Chains A and B, each alone.
Chain A
Amino acid sequence: QVRLQQSGPGLVKPSQTLSLTCAISGDSVSSISAAWAWIRQSPSRGLEWLGRTFYRSKWNSEYASSVKSRITIEPDTSKNRFSLQMNSVTPDDTAVYYCAREFYGSGSPNPHFDYWGQGALVTVSS
């Protein structure tokens, strides 16, 4: 059973950096059958994919165009976890942030998000 445990501050000041971590148990951040994603949810934006990191012979990261200039998603293989950093935040970045596993099943033509973290409300306010 895979478990994703999120951690990080719930309050960030405008213009500062949002940092969240997702600890993985039951799988490896280096798995070649998975990608590790961050998704956020707010009343104004609904569910919004932010990006993913994954290992396929080398480490890769892909980001949504809407946040590409402001975010970094990185693995931490020593602690089997991955992180999200978003800089220059504004109140519009206030949302519940989720980490999730994007699983590439053997023989499956497409991946799917089969495990999600518990979610973390991050409020951007002074």
Chain B
Amino acid sequence: SYELTQPPSVSVSPGQTASITCSGDKLGNRYVCWFQQRPAQSPVLVIYEDAKRPSGIPERFSGSNSGNTATLTISGTQAMDEADYYCQVWDSSSAVVFGGGTKLTVL
């Protein structure tokens, strides 16, 4: 089965740029989604089809995907961005696969 690997944690200072990676075999050949999940809340879609932002998601969230790695970038990180972030793809049989999640700390 297809697997996605994320770093368990990433730290960033307020106002700086945070980069969260997601790795998988030939990941660049698949479309990647990213979700933000704050404590005790449901996941929120922040990026789909590698780099598209849903309505209402701030422009500081951006995404890229090439080779074996997809990256979620948060520019000008704010305290409110502190959350868990998950990448997600579909495997060859249309089953949904999530990464293990990355805890973003803004300190």
Contact = CB atoms under 8 A, between A and B. Distances in A.
Interface of A: 37, 39, 46-49, 62, 64-65, 98, 108-110, 112-114, 116-119
Interface of B: 1, 31, 33, 35, 42-45, 48-49, 54, 86, 88, 90, 94-101
Q: Chain A's interface: helix, strand, loop or mixed, by majority?
A: strand
Contact of B49 (A64, A109, A117, A119): A109
A62 B95 CA distance: 8
Contacts of B90: 110
Contact of A47 (B31, B86, B94): B86
B43 A116 contact: yes
B101 A47 contact: yes
Contact of A119 (B1, B42, B86, B98): B42
Given A47-B98, A48-B98, A49-B98, A98 B42 contact: yes
A118 B97 CA distance: 21
Contacts of B44: 116
A119 B96 CA distance: 18
A110 B31 CA distance: 7
A60 to B, nearest CB: 11
B42 A116 contact: yes
Given A46-B101, A98-B42, A116-B42, 6 more contacts: A46-B98, A48-B98, A110-B31, A112-B33, A112-B45, A118-B42
